[in-house]
Structure 1
């Protein structure tokens, strides 16, 4: 029987998927064992939950009822109005005295004017009370379900901040890991047994799992806050937008993670990392800025929903505003996934051809020609 000898270039090499799993597991465990990462994540989730709860119950805590003194004939009418604490007194003179003493914010007694009421105040006219007692014209709401512009603005900011902070946090983690391994020459030892693309895949997968987990926790905390406060906006209105944000962010982050790893492979020193990753910072900041300015602009959001770098924030906004056909989110996801595959192929070439280069920063073009 003829003996088969392993080639010197493959002896001791770990298979691609096995090596990818090892690297991904290491990336995840290193982060989970970091007290700063765990504590900062817990604090962030606690702050988000507090913000969600406070946004629902906070205004009620500071919205005090206006204390109004009145007479018996008007008490029933005033008590039917929201925001008023009514004290029923014996007569008009007693109401006047209560206002002068400060025991009542205002008083309402029968008057001779067209309304038949006279409002008594000490120094300033109680505008909110006068508005309640005024005769309002008939009102017809043409679009009762139209989104509140201010609420839309804050929802756009929320999606942008979560996308920006998570992408920057975990993208920089990948970049620093690549540079540290390259600067300490650990990567040269790793490459003796692990393919370069397996190292890249493991780093991308490991940090993507962490980013996905953090986004899931954020979404769960927001929905938990909605359940605690009974907010229909969070339970119904934002349910599907959050689902689409999680899905699109997960795919989009794989693309960004691959680019961060490739950019970090271009440099040999941690000091040069900012220069290498600054173009990626701009690509991440752009959706955050655009969604703030165009959060209620249907045309701008439609264009952004088909651009891979802005789709994770534009599509959820369009779903929330109900300006999207049912098939459009799937089309945006397909475009993002296809572009992510192309980016991974590109990043893998740059990473593989730059990982062992030391000295001055390697240009993207030179890395592809290597």
Structure 2
């Protein structure tokens, strides 16, 4: 059986065993609930984007209702006008939240609490328009001509990003992608870490090493947990998309298919790069309690690379440092997706970054495989990285060792 086939079998074992565990299923449910809640709850709490209700009472001009509606339409706000026979009825409706503002005698605005400045501008604009029309009619000016002159002019809103040529959607997509990548590496890298330590402490790894080389075992474990993590993130993304389409509470940044494809590529590369290091360091610990302490350096490097890439790319995506960070393997998974989303890369830069990162992963497979092989069967105190690296020969698992020769007297030759 080839090493690739063995690694695939280990990966399938990881997917099967971890997907059946209660902790994984509970984590998936919690992730889905949290993501959906973050989308649905604001939709039920946010009332600022809905239609506005305006109450009119006492002596108001007959043309005021249409003027207020026109002012609201000019700024893209839906306004509904309600008439009340007297001030008491209007104030009662205001206290019952049936209207957002009450206009009395076309001169006084009453609010249930703080003033809504946008709605105030709509109502006062309508009042001013009607007042001008009445004065023009008194002066003998044709009302139709005046209405055409005084018609509100719709004004479009254009949001500029912090860099020329980029929209806020591009910048938001870059932030979201790099943040999700960081979360994925931390979550599933730690799964690799704890998985290695658990198998080592339970002696299950000794059985596996009797048939599979240590380096292949590590690669299969990383691949299996990565496939499971990608499936979990994809399922969560689909659930979030469906919830967004149903409640329409948040704006999804417009991201092209090419940007999403590159995001997936860097998810795979970034996870593979750091998960191999997590797995190798996990072999140094003999107990689950020691797992986080041995993996501490990886966590520091990971956070430092993320913030270096984030701050540099968000500040100057076309600068020299941004280009260097997007090519350096440790920071490329965080810097390159953002620069691609912002349209700051030439065609050859992502390809070169992928090539360099693949080369780094290949070297790391060799280095991590050596540490993993030399440390995986070590028991007792936490093994130092230097000792695991300089070990000349990895210990053999008990099932793989040759049986001791027994002499006629029943004493093993090894005992002699």
Into which bin does the TM-score normalised by the smaller protein fall? 0.7 to 0.9
Give the count of matched residue pairs.
344
Q: In 2, Cα distance between the equivalents of 1:126 and 1:271?
A: 55
Q: How does 1:190-339 map to 2 (within 5 A)?
A: 190-225=208-243, 227-228=245-246, 234=252, 236-237=254-255, 239-290=257-308, 293=311, 296-297=314-315, 298=317, 299=319, 301-339=322-360
Counterpart for residue 63 of structure 2: 73
* Greater alpha carbon shift after TM alignment, 186-195 vs 23-32: 186-195
Query: What do residues 216-259 of structure 1 show as CA deviations (whole Å, max 9, x unaligned)?
Result: 32343344445546799637336544332222111211122211
Shift of 1:338: 2.0
- Which residue is 2:168 aligned to? 148
Q: What is residue 40 of structure 1 aligned with on the other side?
A: 27
Tell me if 1:180 matches 2:175. no
Q: 1:283 to 1:156 in 2, by over 3 A?
A: farther
SS in 1 for 2:103: strand
Larger Cα-atom Rg: 2
1:263: Cα distance to partner? Answer: 0.3
Which residue is 2:14 aligned to?
A: 27
1:50 to partner: Cα distance: 4.3
Q: TM-score normalized by structure 2? A: 0.69
Cα 1:225–1:140 shift into 2, 3 Å? closer
Partner of 2:54, secondary structure, is strand
* Aligned: 1:130 with 2:137: no
Partner residue of 1:364 out of 360, 377, 385: 385
The answer to whether residue 81 in structure 2 is matched with residue 86 in structure 1 is yes
User: Counterparts of 2:80 and 2:269 in 1: how far apart (Å)?
Assistant: 54
| Distance verdict in 2 for CA 1:17–1:239, change over 3 Å | closer
Contact 1:64 1:83 in 2 (8 A): yes
- Find the aligned partners of 1:200 and 1:124 in 2 and give their Cα distance: 61
Q: Structure 2 regions of 5+ residues with no counterpart?
A: 126-151, 392-416
Q: How far is 1:304 from its partner? A: 3.6
| C-alpha distance 124-51 of structure 1, shift in aligned 2 (>3 A) | closer
Tell me the TM-score normalized by structure 1.
0.76
Task: Report what 1:11 is aligned to.
Answer: none
Contact persistence 1:160–1:291 (CA under 8 A):
no
Unaligned runs of 5+ in 1: 1-13, 111-117
Distance 2:322 2:371 in 1: 32
Aligned-partner SS, 1:362: coil
Counterparts in 2 of 1:42 and 1:232: CA distance versus 1, 3 Å:
closer
My pick for the range that moved more, 197-206 or 323-332, is 323-332
Q: How far has the Cα of 1:195 moved from its partner?
A: 1.4
Distance 1:181 1:36, change over 3 A: closer
